[in-house]
């Protein structure tokens, strides 16, 4: 006779076991990456006889919550655990609107719960060629940002994503290796973070007024880490895919973005060119 599953709130002490589940799936996340999500999100775990067999998180970001890192161990698939974890997340999300970046294998479950596709994302990664510096338009500069400018970084990230990034970026900014921005006529119009993640580095979020600014921010950061492995999670519609591939960063995965309601919208002429992570959006 199968033993019952117990569900409860995720805590920091669960992250080594959650990390082990992701290692089994060959996900690149480090324990530190799981810990960051646990600090900034509301999570749930499924246990059997005290062993963690499933996990899911909802990262509340203003009027929206991003559901991610939904895993059920192979030997416990087909028992309704994923659906129950999703239901717990959806209860925690309300009255916010739930969004997620699905895996192809997870998309049918989410569709059965009412989620619909609203966009696509794709993952690019590898050891890129070091790009040549890109010329800047007159009266603009790309530079390292100071601690005093971090509130502006958060405001730009909010505008580009349509989400409230305050909690997430207050966690990420102090540990980012580099935070750079584009300034035009003395006004900050774009920014990007470079930080440790998975197999090496990740660049994200990247927000800017247009593709040229996004490429300038990314180029600036890539030139700081020659020969390093780097990952990007980008909206397919952002227009950077061909350029990233030309640098030696192939697309290794694509996935639907899904929403249970009306999707978030950018504002203020700012566009998101790279996500924080696939799990957080």
Shared-domain flag, residues 177 and 89: no
- Is residue 89 domain-resident? yes
**Nearest-angstrom CA–CA distance, 228 and 196:** 11
Q: What does the pLDDT read at residue 25?
A: 87
Taking each helix axis from N to C end, the angle separating 15-24 and 31-40, rounded to the nearest 10 degrees, works out to 120
Which DSSP letter does residue 145 get?
P
Residues 67 and 130 occupy one common structural domain: no
| Cβ–Cβ < 8 Å for 231, 128 | no
Q: What is the mean pLDDT of residues 199-219?
A: 97
**Structural domain containing residue 147:** 124-253+261-274
* Cα separation of the two ends of the chain: 40
How far from chain centre, in Å, is Cα 92?
A: 20
Q: Looking at residues 235-242, what average pLDDT do you find?
A: 97
Please write the tens of the pLDDT for every residue from 72-94. Answer: 998 998 899 999 999 999 999 99
Are 31 and 133 members of one domain?
A: no
- Whole-structure pTM value: 0.94
Q: What is the pLDDT of residues 94-124, one digit of tens each?
A: 999 999 998 887 888 899 999 999 999 999 9
If one counts the domains in the chain, the total is 2
**Tokens, residue 69:** 């890192």
Residues 55 and 185 grouped into a single domain:
no
Could you say which of 75, 95, 115 is where a domain stops? 95
Q: Are residues 237 and 169 in the same domain?
A: yes
In this structure, the answer to whether residues 36 and 89 fall within a common structural domain is yes
Q: What is the pLDDT of residue 127?
A: 98
190 and 249 fall within a common domain: yes
Q: Considering the chain, what is the average pLDDT of its residues?
A: 95
- What pLDDT is recorded for position 2? 52
Backbone angles phi, psi at 65, to 5 degrees: -135, 130
* Same domain membership, residue 153 and residue 76: no
* 40 and 139 co-located in one domain: no
23 and 162 co-located in one domain: no
267 in the same domain as 138: yes
Percentage of the chain lying above the pLDDT 70 cut: 99
Task: Check which CATH number belongs to the domain holding 167 and give it.
Answer: 3.40.630.30
How does pLDDT run across 130-165, given as a tens digit for each residue?
999 988 877 889 999 999 999 999 999 999 999 999
């Amino acid at each position: 006779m199968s033993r019952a599953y117990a569900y409860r709130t995720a805590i920091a002490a669960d992250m080594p076991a959650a990390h082990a589940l992701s290692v089994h799936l060959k996900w690149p996340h480090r324990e530190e990456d799981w810990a960051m999500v646990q600090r900034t999100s509301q999570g749930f775990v499924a246990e059997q006889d005290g062993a963690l067999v499933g996990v899911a998180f909802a990262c509340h970001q203003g009027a929206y919550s991003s559901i991610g890192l939904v895993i059920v161990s192979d030997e416990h698939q087909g028992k309704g655990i994923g659906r129950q974890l999703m239901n717990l997340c959806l209860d925690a999300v309300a009255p916010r609107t739930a969004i997620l970046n699905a895996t192809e294998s997870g998309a049918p479950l989410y569709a059965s719960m009412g989620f619909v596709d609203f966009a696509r994302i794709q993952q690019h990664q590898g050891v890129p060629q070091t790009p040549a510096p890109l010329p800047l338009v007159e009266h603009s500069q790309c530079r390292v940002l100071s601690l005093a400018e971090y509130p502006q970084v958060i405001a730009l990230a909010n505008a580009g994503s349509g989400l409230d990034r305050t909690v997430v970026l207050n966690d990420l900014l102090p540990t980012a290796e580099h935070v750079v921005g584009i300034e035009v006529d003395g006004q900050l119009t774009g920014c990007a973070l470079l930080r440790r993640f998975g197999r090496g580095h990740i660049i994200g979020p990247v927000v800017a007024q247009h593709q040229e600014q996004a490429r300038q921010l990314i180029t600036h950061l890539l030139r700081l880490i020659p020969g390093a492995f780097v990952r990007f999670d980008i909206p397919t519609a952002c227009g950077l895919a061909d350029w990233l591939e030309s640098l030696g960063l192939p697309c290794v995965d694509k996935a639907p973005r899904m929403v249970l309601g009306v999707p978030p919208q950018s504002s203020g002429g700012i566009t998101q060119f790279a996500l924080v992570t696939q799990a957080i959006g």
